[in-house]
Chain A
Amino acid sequence: MAEEWYEKVGRIPRKVMYALTLIILIVPLFVSFALPVHISSETRIMYETIEKLRGTGKRVLFIACTIAAHWGEFYHMYFAIFQHIFLLENVKLIIVPVASPDAPALTWMALDAISNPLNKQYGVDYAVLTFLPDPTAAFASMAENFRATFTADLSGTPIDKLPVMEGVYTLSDFDVIITADVAAAAPQVARIFYPRFPDKTYFGLVLAGAVMMYLPFHGTVFKSALVGPRSAAEYQILYGGPYSGAVRQMDIYSAYHLFILIAIILGNIPFIARKISRRRK
């Protein structure tokens, strides 16, 4: 019995699908479609909150829990936040690497990549504090006594010698708290920080694949979040560059989403066709 056409569609070799995926991902890097990027309200809320800190001398606490395997997504989000803060006059940034052993190196990679038009100085305008390995203990200790949790920054300089740490004793001394990666740290922020400091503004940087971990706390504990490179691209458009490459990559995402949609339809054709054919028989 000759094979039905829809059975052939259902048996497209996996390697062909991989090759097509690769082509779909590469072509938009050379040919720009310049599709418009819609700014979501989520990204706008986060941008406007940080923008309001301009010139106030207020502080942002950035808790970095990212692992290297997720850097493809997080790089653009780290870049967007750090770059925006570096473009704002008189806003202090304090970064704490927690849980992931990769977080200190990744944080420095992002800091090295951004431009510094206002000549922000390490120790005066921003600092990377020492790495804390256990997330629960780290968050509990920070909530209890932020100052006592850290004796030095990542390079071993005592925090008393860092001007950026002047007047920082508890979490109350920060105006905005941003956590990346939320999947790893959302429960800690919600269960340890939020009950003690409910009036703080919490934001998250979320891995697109782990958004379910963040959703229970969305709009309740966290005011808003950036989810994946798309949100990072939106954010970078809002502050008007410099860009990390996320905006340029939006064409790839559009092409890839279209490809996935076609693949879903193709994958379902044999299933539906088989069902119809069985009914006819």
Chain B
Amino acid sequence: MDVFEFLTTSLGAAVILGAFSLLFYKDNPWSRWTEYSIVGLGVGWGTVIATWTAVELCIKPLIAGDISKLVPLILGLLTYTQFSRRYRWAMRFPLALVSSAGLAIVLTGLPVSDFIVQLRAIAIPLTACSGFDLVNGIITIICVISVLSYFTFTHEHTGALGSFAKLGRIFMMLGFGAEFAMTVVSNCAHAIIVIVFLLKNWLHLL
């Protein structure tokens, strides 16, 4: 291991141990240093990439003669007018363009992806299913109807509607519970990678 590699792995280990110190001890200068370093490095890295992107995608082609790149450059520069009380209004133009263009792009595909495809997915031909597929199909249909009935507010949740709404709430709770469990599993993966880093790359125990 050369000196540079040793220093970089030791720095990585110091950051990881700093974060762990918060769990096993309490808020301390080491853990705070870790937090500030991560935030600072993240912002710094993001700034470098954003600047590089602006140079590569806009400024270099502009210098090469592509005048059309003046439009995004001017719109981008207009966002800085927010720092001036007098010219703050000019910031609305790039913001309006970005949000409206984004909405237009998304909305053209939204009916297909979020409605038609989803409706097609629940319109399962149960007669053609067997075994687990049939059970899954029935559960899906009950789940959709009951969850939708939970969000029906035009009638009081009593009788059949009330029962279905209750069932819908149970289905949603199952969904949220599964989501939370997956988050725990996800965090486990992140913990494993830092532990492997400490034991393998830093301490050479693996």
**In the complex, A211→B178 CA distance in Å?**
9
Candidate in B61, B121, B199 with the most chain A CB atoms within 10 angstroms: B121
A131 at the binding interface (Cβ < 8 Å): yes
Do the beta carbons of B120 and A220 come within 8 Å of each other? yes
**In the complex, A151→B60 CA distance in Å?**
12
B35 at the binding interface (Cβ < 8 Å): no
A29 at the binding interface (Cβ < 8 Å): yes
B31, chain A: closest CB distance, angstroms:
14
Given A101-B50, A130-B56, A212-B179, CB of A249 within 8 Å of CB of B110: no
Contact of A133 among B53, B61, B113, B188 (CB under 8 A): B53
A71 at the binding interface (Cβ < 8 Å): yes
Do the beta carbons of A190 and B189 come within 8 Å of each other? no
Do the beta carbons of B113 and A131 come within 8 Å of each other? no
Do the beta carbons of B192 and A75 come within 8 Å of each other? no
**In the complex, A136→B121 CA distance in Å?**
25
**A-B residue pairs in contact (CB < 8 Å), sample of 22:** A15-B23, A69-B190, A72-B192, A73-B186, A75-B193, A131-B53, A137-B105, A152-B56, A156-B56, A190-B114, A191-B108, A191-B114, A194-B113, A195-B109, A212-B179, A217-B113, A221-B117, A228-B186, A245-B196, A249-B192, A252-B192, A257-B185
Tally of contact residues, B, Cβ under 8 A: 45
B45 at the binding interface (Cβ < 8 Å): yes
Residues of chain A lying within 8 A (CB to CB) of residue B185: 208-209, 228, 253, 257
Do the beta carbons of B187 and A209 come within 8 Å of each other? yes
Chain A: number of interface residues, binned into ranges: 35 or more
Please, what's the 1-or-0 string for B26-49, where 1 marks a CB less than 8 Å from any CB in chain A? 000000000000000000011011
**In the complex, A123→B104 CA distance in Å?**
35
A242 at the binding interface (Cβ < 8 Å): no
B128 at the binding interface (Cβ < 8 Å): no
B135, chain A: closest CB distance, angstroms:
16
B143, chain A: closest CB distance, angstroms:
12
Do the beta carbons of A191 and B186 come within 8 Å of each other? no
Q: Nearest CB to that of B197 among chain A residues?
A: A72
Do the beta carbons of A72 and B106 come within 8 Å of each other? no
A238 at the binding interface (Cβ < 8 Å): no
**In the complex, A217→B109 CA distance in Å?**
13
Contact of B190 among A72, A101, A256 (CB under 8 A): A72
Contact of A220 among B23, B24, B117, B194 (CB under 8 A): B117
Given A192-B105, A195-B109, CB of A73 within 8 Å of CB of B190: yes
B115, chain A: closest CB distance, angstroms:
11
**In the complex, A221→B196 CA distance in Å?**
36
Do the beta carbons of A72 and B193 come within 8 Å of each other? yes
Residues of chain B lying within 8 A (CB to CB) of residue A5: none
Residues of chain B lying within 8 A (CB to CB) of residue A21: 191
Residues of chain B lying within 8 A (CB to CB) of residue A249: 192
Residues of chain A lying within 8 A (CB to CB) of residue B48: 101
Q: Nearest CB to that of B191 among chain A residues?
A: A25
- Across the A-B interface, give the 9 residue pairs with the lowest CB-CB distance, nearest first: A209-B186, A191-B109, A72-B193, A101-B49, A190-B113, A72-B190, A209-B183, A208-B186, A195-B109
**In the complex, A194→B117 CA distance in Å?**
10
Contact of B189 among A22, A212, A228, A260 (CB under 8 A): A228
Please, what's the 1-or-0 string for A150-171, where 1 marks a CB less than 8 Å from any CB in chain B? 0110001000000000000000
Do the beta carbons of A207 and B49 come within 8 Å of each other? no
A19, chain B: closest CB distance, angstroms:
7
Residues of chain B lying within 8 A (CB to CB) of residue A210: 182, 186
B129 at the binding interface (Cβ < 8 Å): no
A219 at the binding interface (Cβ < 8 Å): yes
A57 at the binding interface (Cβ < 8 Å): no
Do the beta carbons of A256 and B188 come within 8 Å of each other? yes
**In the complex, A101→B192 CA distance in Å?**
24
Residues of chain B lying within 8 A (CB to CB) of residue A252: 188, 192
A187 at the binding interface (Cβ < 8 Å): yes
